[in-house]
Amino acid sequence: MATLCKNCGAPVIFDPKTQKVVCTVCGGSWEAEEIEATDKGFEEKNRAVSMNDVYGNTAKEFMDCYIYTCGSCGGEIVINGSEVSTKCIYCGSTSVVFNRISKEKAPEFILPFSISKEEALEQINKTFSKRLFVPKEIKNLNPTAVRGIYVPYWIVNGLHSEADLISGRRGNGKSSHSVYCGRAGMMGITNLPVDASLMLSDESSQRLEPYDLSKLKYFDEDYLLGFYSNVSDVTNADLYEAVNKRASESFQNKAMESFTGATGKKVHFSRTATLINRDVFYAMLPVWFVTFDYQGKHNTIMVNGQTGKVVGGVPWSKKVYGIYFAILATLLSVLFSAGFYAATAHAEVKEAGSLPTLLFVIAMFTLVPVLIGAATMKKLKTQLGRSQSESIFNFAKKRQE
């Protein structure tokens, strides 16, 4: 149901800058807790009717979804199985599906957007505009869609215990040998945010952290106005698996740090147990999803709606990348070769031995930028892979625009 302005009856939205619900027509503004949606009580009692209830079991070629009526213009609003708020494609009004909140477990807290759409795009431009290999078309980003989405999270406290057997190598060459160490202990888990949407990968959502959870507010539906949102669709087993995995990764990283003097370290054997406290609570956290197409591929950049942190990568010009590192390798080789020649010209070095040494120096200083270039390319590919992830694109695109 649309929430309307008390003064003029136009739809209202939540403004991240003022942290108030505002009317874009008359300029009225209110605290989110001060405004109430019309006919909310009536809508809470409504039940979504299944396609099979209307058409029977014969409509196999259609996908079952939820149809709601826009409270502003009467247009039909289509949502999927976990959306709570969306926008009407006809008039642009935000509609909050109140019966989805009341029938399912309502969030206890919400972290309102504090970064506006314009600020999110500005953060992306700042991040990528100065990079050498990014094409001009992307530096002047013209996104196909920008969606502010409240992502459901479970905020978890608990305890994690683990025992690991870690292997590594010590020494060089023929004298190297395998060494092992054991690490066991217990650690506390405090305010760990766990993405509660199956459509969004945990790896992607984790990179948006940290959030300042001290800014959480008690949930009010009017914070959703102007934004999209989902409800949690993970099971208790999904939640436990995610918490145990993150806690184990953190424990093993600390265990590796304590195992000094060894290379090629890896966990050889592990036993874990995680206890989640009953005080787990449910919150909605803000994320901007910015989608653009480039050379036939979808790219989605995520921006933390509270801090402005940018997650993801953009396509780069491989031609410019290759030319840059080729020139760098050539310049380094020439400079260090000239320096080496000047140094040996005044030293008592046998001529027969200086040429192999010179060639070795040239090879070394040519190899350095090549290795740097390879490591940088690997990082860029990883970041681009996240932006072109099908799961992130599908999560963002399943919204009416």
Angle, helix 351-387 to helix 318-345, in steps of 10 degrees: 160
Q: What is the pLDDT of residue 364?
A: 61
Q: What is the pLDDT of residue 344?
A: 59
Strand partners, 263: 169
Query: Which residue type occupies 1?
Result: M
Question: Per-residue pLDDT for 100 more than 60?
Answer: no
CA distances from 381 to 39, 74, 134, 157 (A): 50, 46, 13, 35
**Each residue of 382-393: pLDDT tens digit?**
666 666 677 677
Q: What is the pLDDT of residue 44?
A: 47
Domain assignments of the chain as residue spans, ordered by start: 12-104, 117-315+385-397
CA–CA distance, 294 with 271 (Å, rounded to integer): 45
CA distances from 31 to 2, 15, 129, 227, 351 (A): 17, 10, 37, 17, 83
Question: Per-residue pLDDT for 276 more than 60?
Answer: yes
**Each residue of 223-264: pLDDT tens digit?**
888 888 877 888 889 999 999 999 999 999 999 999 888 888
What would the mean pLDDT of 73-89 be, rounded to a whole number? 53
The DSSP annotation for 304-321 comes to ETTT--EE------HHHH
Q: Would the pTM of this model clear 0.85, i.e. be above it?
A: no
CA distances from 48 to 65, 85, 104 (A): 9, 15, 13
Interior CA angle at 86 toward 385 and 230, to 5°? 60
Q: What is the pLDDT of residue 264?
A: 84
Q: What is the pLDDT of residue 232?
A: 83
What would the mean pLDDT of 105-112 be, rounded to a whole number? 85
Name the least confident of 64-73, 168-177, 232-241, 299-308. Answer: 64-73
Query: String of b and e for 157-183 (b: at least 16 CB within 10 Å)?
Result: bbebebebebbbeeeeeeeeeeeebeb
CA distances from 309 to 81, 147, 380, 389 (A): 29, 16, 17, 19
